[in-house]
Homo-oligomer: A and B are copies of this chain.
Amino acid sequence: MQFLSQTASDGVIESLFTVDGVPGVLWSPDAGGDPAPLVLMGHGGGLHKNAPGLVARAAYLVTAFGFHAAAIDAPGHGDRTRSASDAAWVETMQSARRAGEPLGPIVSAFNASIAERAVPEWRATLDALHALPEIDADRPVGYSGMTLATEIGFRLAAAEPRIGAAALGAAYASEALMEVARRVSASVQFLLPWDDPEIDRESGLALFDAIGTEAIGTEAIGTGAIGTGAIDSVEKSLHAFPGPHERVPSYEAHDSAGFLARHLRPPVRSRGLPASARGVRTRLTCGRSST
């Protein structure tokens, strides 16, 4: 792992690095403190590790929760050169878009090819990041990203037991991706853009349905009581929002961060069960009346 530069602004330290030649970026709290959990941030197809939406979500995880967040450029993206074979994929995709043909299957096959190459890169990056003293390698790791990052994220979560929670979404339900999704045992929050011209609703519903069906049983979906500090053993939730996948409402980004936080943070002690769960009651007054 080579660190290239480090800058700080608004409570976030940004460190650029490479691992085996793959360029990456690490965002960390500038306050220091105890080792903190890590979230891996995947970028969408055609984007890169410093895409504005990704950086905003990473900065929120750092400043609101004290986490570390990291991104790498996917093969052929960002600071990496695109292979002739990948360039041919892109041309096929653009032709289909011009011809008004369904894009899902073509994009999905291209993204699957990138994802197969990206998974070992992410695992090497995770090894390197977990060797840093400021990152808590004993806590589960989070993963967050849509479209291309979801093709990568399902495969990474299926292969990598350190991934404990993944916020994914907006991917085409190819048979290959469905097969991978069934083998995921991490908690998943799955975002479905309700009005996306290129990814149909049925794809999103089918992918959500498949998640974890081979790896976990429905009975493993936790039912801890609200307010007791209990973390559900496994979480599987579909969040559908109006609009296309490029326009994730801030409330969904907010909920995704909260989802990652409750799985990555150490369990907290109960701040007090609700009265009804304890059966302890104290009569105070009787007979207040108004109106």
Q: Hey, which bits of chain A sit against chain B, CB under 8 A?
A: 1-15, 50, 52, 55-60, 63-64, 128, 131-132, 192, 194-195, 205, 208-209, 218, 221-228, 230, 232, 235-243, 247, 249-255, 257-259, 262, 271-278, 280-291
Contacts and interface: CB of A to CB of B under 8 A. Distances in A.
B59 A275 contact: yes
A23 to B, nearest CB: 15
B56 A9 contact: no
Nearest to A55: B276
B284 A7 contact: yes
Nearest to A213: B242
B232 A251 contact: yes
B13 A284 contact: yes
A44 B228 CA distance: 23
A9 B290 CA distance: 23
Given A10-B272, A250-B226, A275-B59, A286 B5 contact: yes
Nearest to A226: B253
A144 to B, nearest CB: 12
B274 A60 contact: yes
